[in-house]
Chain A
């Protein structure tokens, strides 16, 4: 474990008048050159509004630019900065240090994802499974070519799936899922929630083909309903509920 004692004053961008500071522990690991993960500690001043991502970027700016982290929008929209913060999967840009209520903030890469380096992980499996469930409207006609008007929906029909369309593909649900930890072929809560999003859409006609994809030995039935996916979603999506609804279709309780 490496302790970097204080911030370099000449390069300081965060005000030193900040009354509080936090110890940021960053997991460092390069699978190409190292066998095990180690932690580096940095003392970072923070304000009430400072996010974990901002603290990590301070580290990159002043202490160690080699810390690998993926980020983009900084406003919980792109889903890039998912990581384990103090043991729980969260978005770094959406987590304020002051809200963690701890003098030590530990950041690690998301579980159940192969690590590229440090905090950056590979998303191939998530995107593959997402693609597998056909995340688009399936029907023979289209709004563009048909003489019909646009595909209208009532507010009640929209209500059936609208929360599931808030998914930003950050992967936090997959990271929290206990089945994902052991079953490398499991579809995962993200893809299953998206499968429900389209199955429940009144404009979609691809229910049968989508249900066929998830009705597999590593599909929807491997969910243990731990509910961790719903707990960690930063956008308020409830994948566990979507999975139960999907099971309803497969068991014949819903049509």
Chain B
């Protein structure tokens, strides 16, 4: 993939994440901090599908943005064909892993496993 496309995704995910995290913070302000962290409330949030969907999107946006940022930093630190390939594929794998782990929590709650 061309670097300009990757960077468009990078900037786009940053802007979208700022907007959605703002909505997320506003949603949390509807109750006290301690209350929002209570087990029942967290489970309820995950079971409310529109909100769970937004959390899933935030997870994807931040993972994509964050791991691309990490890739860029690592590419600037050291160069070399093998190293650069390892960094790029490693960051994609880590990004997929993190998204899968986060999604698993939402899916498990909605399947009644948790």
Contact = CB atoms under 8 A, between A and B. Distances in A.
Interface of A: 179, 182-186, 215-219, 221-222, 250-251
B79 A250 contact: no
Most buried by A among B2, B4, B7, B79: B4
Given A217-B84, A222-B72, A251-B8, A183 B3 contact: no
Contacts of A221: 3-4, 7, 72
Interface in B56-80: 72, 75-77, 79
Interface in B1-26: 2-4, 7-8
B4 A185 contact: no
B3 A217 contact: yes
A222 B71 CA distance: 11
B75 to A, nearest CB: 6
A191 to B, nearest CB: 16
A251 B2 CA distance: 12
A67 to B, nearest CB: 33
A24 to B, nearest CB: 36
Given A221-B7, A251-B8, A215 B2 contact: yes
Interface of B is mostly: helix
A221 B76 CA distance: 11
30 contacts: A179-B76, A182-B76, A182-B77, A183-B75, A183-B76, A183-B79, A184-B79, A185-B79, A186-B76, A215-B2, A215-B3, A215-B4, A216-B3, A217-B3, A217-B75, A217-B84, A218-B75, A218-B79, A219-B3, A221-B3, A221-B4, A221-B7, A221-B72, A222-B75, A222-B76, A250-B4, A250-B7, A251-B4, A251-B7, A251-B8
A249 to B, nearest CB: 9
A2 to B, nearest CB: 37
Contacts of A218: 75, 79
Contacts of B3: 215-217, 219, 221
A221 B64 CA distance: 17
A128 B60 CA distance: 40
A245 B66 CA distance: 26
Given A215-B2, A218-B75, A251-B8, 14 more contacts: A182-B76, A182-B77, A183-B79, A185-B79, A186-B76, A217-B3, A217-B75, A217-B84, A218-B79, A221-B72, A222-B76, A250-B7, A251-B4, A251-B7
A216 B79 CA distance: 14
A58 B91 CA distance: 55
A192 B77 CA distance: 20
Contacts of B7: 221, 250-251
